[in-house]
Amino acid sequence: MEGCILITGASGFIGTNLQELLIKNRCNFVNFDKNKPTKKEHMQYWFKGDIMNLSDLSIAFSKYSPSVVIHLAAVTDTSSDNLDDYKENTIGTKNVIDEILKHPNIERCIIASTQYVYKSLKSPFPNSDDEYLPHTTYGISKKETEEIVRNSSLKCCWTIVRPANVWGPWHMRYPEQLWKFMDKGWYIQPTKRPVIRTYAYVKNLIHQLNGILNAEPGIVNKQTFYLGDLPIDSNVWLSEWMYQLRGKNLRYIFPFVMHSAAIMGDVLKKFGVKFPMYSVRYKNMLEDYYAPTNVTIRLFGLYNDDLASNVKETVDWLHGDAKLYFDYWKLRSK
Protein backbone atom coordinates (compact mmCIF):
# COMPACT_ATOMS: atom_id res chain seq x y z
CA MET A 1 0.00 0.00 0.00
CA GLU A 2 1.60 3.27 -1.18
CA GLY A 3 1.00 6.69 0.36
CA CYS A 4 0.21 7.61 3.95
CA ILE A 5 -2.32 5.71 6.03
CA LEU A 6 -4.13 7.90 8.55
CA ILE A 7 -5.61 5.89 11.42
CA THR A 8 -8.01 7.49 13.86
CA GLY A 9 -7.91 6.06 17.36
CA ALA A 10 -4.75 4.00 16.87
CA SER A 11 -3.69 4.52 20.49
CA GLY A 12 -6.34 1.98 21.49
CA PHE A 13 -6.28 -1.81 21.66
CA ILE A 14 -6.83 -2.68 18.00
CA GLY A 15 -4.85 0.33 16.84
CA THR A 16 -1.81 -0.60 18.92
CA ASN A 17 -1.68 -4.02 17.29
CA LEU A 18 -2.31 -2.51 13.86
CA GLN A 19 0.62 -0.13 14.34
CA GLU A 20 2.86 -3.09 15.20
CA LEU A 21 1.98 -4.77 11.90
CA LEU A 22 2.38 -1.59 9.85
CA ILE A 23 5.79 -0.95 11.40
CA LYS A 24 6.81 -4.51 10.57
CA ASN A 25 5.60 -4.01 6.98
CA ARG A 26 7.46 -0.65 6.74
CA CYS A 27 4.27 1.27 5.95
CA ASN A 28 3.94 5.04 6.13
CA PHE A 29 1.20 5.89 8.63
CA VAL A 30 0.07 8.37 11.27
CA ASN A 31 -1.97 7.78 14.42
CA PHE A 32 -4.59 10.52 14.82
CA ASP A 33 -5.75 10.22 18.43
CA LYS A 34 -6.56 12.50 21.37
CA ASN A 35 -4.75 10.07 23.68
CA LYS A 36 -1.09 9.16 23.80
CA PRO A 37 -0.10 5.81 22.28
CA THR A 38 -0.26 2.86 24.65
CA LYS A 39 3.28 1.87 23.68
CA LYS A 40 5.91 4.60 24.09
CA GLU A 41 7.68 3.22 21.00
CA HIS A 42 4.71 4.47 18.96
CA MET A 43 5.08 8.12 20.02
CA GLN A 44 6.85 9.03 16.78
CA TYR A 45 3.72 8.13 14.79
CA TRP A 46 1.29 10.12 16.95
CA PHE A 47 -0.59 13.27 15.93
CA LYS A 48 -2.65 14.60 18.83
CA GLY A 49 -6.11 15.26 17.48
CA ASP A 50 -9.78 14.76 18.30
CA ILE A 51 -12.34 13.60 15.73
CA MET A 52 -14.83 15.91 17.43
CA ASN A 53 -12.61 18.88 16.52
CA LEU A 54 -12.98 19.90 12.86
CA SER A 55 -9.81 21.99 12.97
CA ASP A 56 -7.72 19.03 14.20
CA LEU A 57 -9.00 16.88 11.34
CA SER A 58 -8.37 19.56 8.72
CA ILE A 59 -4.81 20.16 9.90
CA ALA A 60 -3.93 16.46 10.02
CA PHE A 61 -5.42 15.62 6.62
CA SER A 62 -3.67 18.59 5.01
CA LYS A 63 -0.35 17.83 6.68
CA TYR A 64 -0.19 14.12 5.88
CA SER A 65 -2.29 13.99 2.70
CA PRO A 66 -3.34 10.37 3.33
CA SER A 67 -4.30 8.02 0.52
CA VAL A 68 -6.00 5.68 3.02
CA VAL A 69 -8.06 6.34 6.15
CA ILE A 70 -8.78 3.67 8.76
CA HIS A 71 -11.35 4.96 11.22
CA LEU A 72 -11.08 3.15 14.56
CA ALA A 73 -11.73 6.01 17.00
CA ALA A 74 -14.83 5.34 19.08
CA VAL A 75 -16.36 4.97 22.50
CA THR A 76 -16.49 1.17 22.79
CA ASP A 77 -17.89 0.42 26.24
CA THR A 78 -21.45 -0.86 26.55
CA SER A 79 -22.21 0.47 30.03
CA SER A 80 -24.28 3.55 29.16
CA ASP A 81 -27.94 3.71 28.15
CA ASN A 82 -27.58 7.32 26.99
CA LEU A 83 -26.94 7.75 23.27
CA ASP A 84 -25.35 11.15 23.92
CA ASP A 85 -22.45 9.32 25.56
CA TYR A 86 -21.59 7.90 22.14
CA LYS A 87 -21.38 11.14 20.15
CA GLU A 88 -17.85 10.26 19.08
CA ASN A 89 -19.30 7.26 17.26
CA THR A 90 -21.92 9.29 15.42
CA ILE A 91 -20.90 12.93 15.12
CA GLY A 92 -17.23 11.95 15.17
CA THR A 93 -17.69 9.57 12.25
CA LYS A 94 -19.60 12.20 10.29
CA ASN A 95 -16.71 14.62 10.86
CA VAL A 96 -14.23 12.07 9.53
CA ILE A 97 -16.37 11.26 6.48
CA ASP A 98 -16.89 14.95 5.72
CA GLU A 99 -13.13 15.51 5.86
CA ILE A 100 -12.48 12.55 3.55
CA LEU A 101 -14.90 14.06 1.03
CA LYS A 102 -12.68 17.16 0.83
CA HIS A 103 -9.67 15.14 -0.33
CA PRO A 104 -10.06 13.45 -3.73
CA ASN A 105 -6.58 11.90 -3.35
CA ILE A 106 -7.95 9.46 -0.74
CA GLU A 107 -8.29 6.10 -2.47
CA ARG A 108 -10.02 4.05 0.21
CA CYS A 109 -11.28 4.08 3.77
CA ILE A 110 -12.13 1.40 6.29
CA ILE A 111 -14.70 2.21 8.97
CA ALA A 112 -14.87 0.15 12.17
CA SER A 113 -18.32 -0.80 13.40
CA THR A 114 -19.18 -3.75 15.68
CA GLN A 115 -20.93 -7.11 15.78
CA TYR A 116 -23.35 -5.41 18.20
CA VAL A 117 -25.33 -3.74 15.39
CA TYR A 118 -27.27 -6.99 15.04
CA LYS A 119 -28.30 -9.64 17.54
CA SER A 120 -31.19 -12.06 17.18
CA LEU A 121 -31.72 -15.43 18.83
CA LYS A 122 -34.26 -16.38 16.15
CA SER A 123 -32.20 -15.40 13.11
CA PRO A 124 -28.49 -15.21 14.03
CA PHE A 125 -27.32 -13.55 10.81
CA PRO A 126 -28.83 -10.47 9.14
CA ASN A 127 -30.28 -10.95 5.66
CA SER A 128 -28.44 -7.90 4.34
CA ASP A 129 -25.66 -5.54 5.41
CA ASP A 130 -28.16 -2.82 6.24
CA GLU A 131 -30.47 -4.95 8.39
CA TYR A 132 -29.98 -3.89 12.00
CA LEU A 133 -31.11 -5.16 15.38
CA PRO A 134 -28.85 -3.60 18.02
CA HIS A 135 -29.32 -4.76 21.61
CA THR A 136 -27.29 -2.06 23.36
CA THR A 137 -27.06 1.71 23.13
CA TYR A 138 -23.49 1.27 21.96
CA GLY A 139 -24.84 -0.93 19.16
CA ILE A 140 -27.37 1.77 18.25
CA SER A 141 -24.57 4.32 17.97
CA LYS A 142 -22.63 2.01 15.66
CA LYS A 143 -25.75 1.42 13.57
CA GLU A 144 -25.85 5.17 13.07
CA THR A 145 -22.13 5.08 12.26
CA GLU A 146 -22.78 2.62 9.45
CA GLU A 147 -25.75 4.61 8.14
CA ILE A 148 -23.60 7.73 7.97
CA VAL A 149 -21.15 5.86 5.75
CA ARG A 150 -23.78 4.20 3.59
CA ASN A 151 -25.69 7.46 3.06
CA SER A 152 -22.59 9.51 2.30
CA SER A 153 -21.38 10.49 -1.16
CA LEU A 154 -18.00 8.81 -0.77
CA LYS A 155 -16.31 8.27 -4.12
CA CYS A 156 -13.38 6.28 -2.76
CA CYS A 157 -13.42 2.55 -2.07
CA TRP A 158 -15.03 2.11 1.34
CA THR A 159 -15.47 -0.89 3.60
CA ILE A 160 -17.25 -1.38 6.91
CA VAL A 161 -15.78 -3.91 9.34
CA ARG A 162 -17.59 -5.43 12.31
CA PRO A 163 -15.16 -6.84 14.89
CA ALA A 164 -16.46 -9.63 17.11
CA ASN A 165 -15.40 -9.96 20.78
CA VAL A 166 -11.73 -8.95 20.49
CA TRP A 167 -9.03 -10.17 22.87
CA GLY A 168 -5.27 -10.48 22.99
CA PRO A 169 -2.11 -8.51 23.88
CA TRP A 170 -2.61 -4.81 24.64
CA HIS A 171 -6.22 -5.25 25.72
CA MET A 172 -6.33 -2.72 28.54
CA ARG A 173 -9.56 -3.81 30.26
CA TYR A 174 -9.47 -7.61 30.49
CA PRO A 175 -6.21 -7.64 32.54
CA GLU A 176 -8.09 -5.84 35.32
CA GLN A 177 -11.31 -7.77 34.86
CA LEU A 178 -11.78 -11.18 33.25
CA TRP A 179 -8.18 -12.37 33.18
CA LYS A 180 -7.49 -11.09 36.68
CA PHE A 181 -10.63 -12.79 38.03
CA MET A 182 -9.65 -16.05 36.33
CA ASP A 183 -6.09 -15.86 37.59
CA LYS A 184 -7.37 -15.38 41.13
CA GLY A 185 -9.77 -18.30 40.72
CA TRP A 186 -12.80 -16.06 41.10
CA TYR A 187 -14.37 -16.75 37.71
CA ILE A 188 -17.31 -19.18 37.67
CA GLN A 189 -19.38 -20.14 34.62
CA PRO A 190 -23.17 -20.45 35.11
CA THR A 191 -23.73 -23.27 32.61
CA LYS A 192 -22.04 -26.33 31.10
CA ARG A 193 -24.33 -26.10 28.11
CA PRO A 194 -22.47 -25.04 24.95
CA VAL A 195 -22.77 -21.31 24.39
CA ILE A 196 -21.54 -20.51 20.90
CA ARG A 197 -19.73 -17.20 20.57
CA THR A 198 -17.51 -15.50 18.03
CA TYR A 199 -14.23 -14.27 19.45
CA ALA A 200 -11.54 -12.36 17.60
CA TYR A 201 -7.92 -12.88 18.53
CA VAL A 202 -6.57 -9.41 17.84
CA LYS A 203 -3.75 -10.61 15.58
CA ASN A 204 -6.26 -12.56 13.50
CA LEU A 205 -8.39 -9.43 13.26
CA ILE A 206 -5.40 -7.31 12.22
CA HIS A 207 -4.43 -9.91 9.63
CA GLN A 208 -7.92 -9.67 8.13
CA LEU A 209 -7.91 -5.87 8.31
CA ASN A 210 -4.61 -5.83 6.44
CA GLY A 211 -6.08 -8.18 3.85
CA ILE A 212 -8.98 -5.81 3.27
CA LEU A 213 -6.57 -2.88 3.10
CA ASN A 214 -4.61 -4.51 0.28
CA ALA A 215 -7.47 -6.24 -1.56
CA GLU A 216 -8.66 -5.31 -5.02
CA PRO A 217 -11.43 -2.67 -4.77
CA GLY A 218 -13.85 -4.97 -6.57
CA ILE A 219 -13.69 -7.37 -3.61
CA VAL A 220 -14.11 -4.89 -0.74
CA ASN A 221 -15.75 -1.73 -2.09
CA LYS A 222 -19.08 -0.98 -0.37
CA GLN A 223 -18.84 -4.29 1.48
CA THR A 224 -19.26 -5.24 5.14
CA PHE A 225 -17.07 -7.87 6.79
CA TYR A 226 -17.23 -9.46 10.23
CA LEU A 227 -13.72 -9.73 11.67
CA GLY A 228 -12.76 -12.59 13.95
CA ASP A 229 -12.24 -16.30 14.40
CA LEU A 230 -14.69 -19.09 13.66
CA PRO A 231 -17.47 -19.47 16.27
CA ILE A 232 -16.57 -21.62 19.28
CA ASP A 233 -18.19 -22.90 22.48
CA SER A 234 -17.33 -20.23 25.04
CA ASN A 235 -16.69 -23.00 27.59
CA VAL A 236 -13.80 -24.20 25.42
CA TRP A 237 -12.37 -20.68 25.17
CA LEU A 238 -12.70 -20.07 28.93
CA SER A 239 -11.33 -23.50 29.80
CA GLU A 240 -8.16 -22.83 27.81
CA TRP A 241 -7.68 -19.59 29.70
CA MET A 242 -8.24 -21.26 33.07
CA TYR A 243 -5.81 -24.04 32.21
CA GLN A 244 -3.03 -21.69 31.10
CA LEU A 245 -3.48 -19.22 33.97
CA ARG A 246 -4.07 -21.66 36.84
CA GLY A 247 -3.56 -25.17 35.51
CA LYS A 248 -7.09 -26.01 36.65
CA ASN A 249 -10.47 -26.80 35.13
CA LEU A 250 -13.17 -24.21 34.63
CA ARG A 251 -15.58 -24.07 37.57
CA TYR A 252 -19.36 -23.97 37.29
CA ILE A 253 -22.17 -22.76 39.51
CA PHE A 254 -25.95 -23.18 39.53
CA PRO A 255 -27.51 -20.51 37.27
CA PHE A 256 -29.93 -19.27 39.94
CA VAL A 257 -27.00 -18.31 42.19
CA MET A 258 -25.41 -16.22 39.43
CA HIS A 259 -28.80 -14.77 38.55
CA SER A 260 -29.27 -13.61 42.14
CA ALA A 261 -25.87 -11.95 42.05
CA ALA A 262 -26.83 -10.21 38.81
CA ILE A 263 -30.00 -8.79 40.37
CA MET A 264 -27.94 -7.50 43.28
CA GLY A 265 -25.54 -5.92 40.78
CA ASP A 266 -28.44 -4.14 39.08
CA VAL A 267 -29.53 -2.65 42.40
CA LEU A 268 -26.01 -1.54 43.30
CA LYS A 269 -25.59 0.05 39.87
CA LYS A 270 -28.57 2.33 40.58
CA PHE A 271 -26.66 3.65 43.58
CA GLY A 272 -23.48 4.16 41.59
CA VAL A 273 -21.73 1.10 43.04
CA LYS A 274 -19.78 -1.05 40.58
CA PHE A 275 -20.29 -4.81 40.83
CA PRO A 276 -18.78 -7.45 38.51
CA MET A 277 -22.11 -9.13 37.76
CA TYR A 278 -25.34 -7.59 36.48
CA SER A 279 -28.28 -8.78 34.39
CA VAL A 280 -26.96 -7.82 30.96
CA ARG A 281 -23.65 -9.58 31.60
CA TYR A 282 -25.40 -12.64 33.05
CA LYS A 283 -27.69 -12.85 30.02
CA ASN A 284 -24.73 -12.57 27.66
CA MET A 285 -23.02 -15.50 29.41
CA LEU A 286 -25.97 -17.76 28.59
CA GLU A 287 -26.85 -16.71 25.03
CA ASP A 288 -25.34 -17.78 21.73
CA TYR A 289 -23.93 -14.85 19.77
CA TYR A 290 -21.96 -15.75 16.69
CA ALA A 291 -21.12 -14.03 13.45
CA PRO A 292 -20.51 -15.05 9.79
CA THR A 293 -16.74 -14.66 10.00
CA ASN A 294 -16.34 -17.65 7.68
CA VAL A 295 -16.75 -15.30 4.70
CA THR A 296 -13.90 -13.08 5.92
CA ILE A 297 -11.69 -16.06 6.77
CA ARG A 298 -12.24 -17.57 3.33
CA LEU A 299 -11.12 -14.35 1.67
CA PHE A 300 -8.38 -13.14 4.01
CA GLY A 301 -7.46 -16.04 6.30
CA LEU A 302 -6.12 -15.95 9.87
CA TYR A 303 -2.82 -15.11 11.51
CA ASN A 304 -3.06 -18.28 13.62
CA ASP A 305 -6.04 -20.59 14.12
CA ASP A 306 -4.59 -22.38 17.18
CA LEU A 307 -6.42 -21.22 20.31
CA ALA A 308 -3.84 -22.59 22.75
CA SER A 309 -0.91 -20.76 21.17
CA ASN A 310 -2.88 -17.51 20.91
CA VAL A 311 -3.84 -17.71 24.59
CA LYS A 312 -0.21 -18.47 25.48
CA GLU A 313 0.95 -15.45 23.50
CA THR A 314 -1.46 -13.30 25.50
CA VAL A 315 -0.51 -14.86 28.84
CA ASP A 316 3.15 -14.20 28.03
CA TRP A 317 2.20 -10.57 27.41
CA LEU A 318 0.41 -10.43 30.80
CA HIS A 319 3.61 -11.58 32.48
CA GLY A 320 5.72 -9.33 30.25
CA ASP A 321 4.82 -5.87 28.93
CA ALA A 322 1.52 -5.76 30.82
CA LYS A 323 3.50 -5.49 34.07
CA LEU A 324 4.29 -1.88 33.08
CA TYR A 325 0.59 -0.97 33.17
CA PHE A 326 -1.08 -3.19 35.76
CA ASP A 327 0.02 -3.52 39.38
CA TYR A 328 -1.67 -6.90 39.74
CA TRP A 329 0.35 -8.48 36.94
CA LYS A 330 3.51 -6.73 38.10
CA LEU A 331 3.15 -8.31 41.54
CA ARG A 332 1.88 -11.59 40.09
CA SER A 333 5.03 -12.01 38.02
CA LYS A 334 7.43 -11.62 40.93
| Residue at 102 is within a domain | yes
What would the pLDDT profile of 311-330 be if each residue is shown by its tens digit? 999 999 999 999 999 999 99
123 burial level (CB within 10 Å; 0-12, 13-18, 19+): exposed
Measured CA to CA, the distance from residue 42 to residue 268 in angstroms comes to: 40
Task: Note the pLDDT of residue 278.
Answer: 80
Average pLDDT of the segment spanning 1-18: 93
What would the pLDDT profile of 218-250 be if each residue is shown by its tens digit? 999 999 999 999 999 999 999 999 999 999 999
| Residue at 334 is within a domain | no
Task: Note the pLDDT of residue 80.
Answer: 87
| Residue at 281 is within a domain | no
Q: Whose CA is closest to 214, among 68, 34, 9?
A: 68
Measured CA to CA, the distance from residue 234 to residue 251 in angstroms comes to: 13
| Residue at 305 is within a domain | yes
Distance of CA 138 to CAs 3, 32, 52, 76, Å?
Answer: 33, 22, 18, 7
Query: How many distinct structural domains can be found in the chain?
Result: 1
| Residue at 253 is within a domain | no
H or E element at residue 205: helix 202-214
| Residue at 330 is within a domain | no
pTM comes to 0.94
What would the pLDDT profile of 103-128 be if each residue is shown by its tens digit? 999 999 999 999 999 999 899 999 99
Average pLDDT of the segment spanning 175-203: 95
Give the CA angle between residues 187, 192, 195 to the nearest 5°: 90
CATH number reported for the structural domain that contains residue 104 in this entry = 3.40.50.720
Length of the chain: 334
| Residue at 279 is within a domain | no
328 burial level (CB within 10 Å; 0-12, 13-18, 19+): middle
Is residue 262 within 8 Å of residue 277, measured between CB atoms?
A: yes
| Residue at 265 is within a domain | no
As a whole number of Å, the end-to-end CA separation of the chain is 43
DSSP code per residue over 275-303:
-S--HHHHHHHHS-B---HHHHHHHH--S
Per the structure, the complete domain to which residue 209 belongs is given by 5-170+199-230+291-323
When mean pLDDT is compared across 81-95, 197-211, 319-333, the lowest value belongs to: 319-333
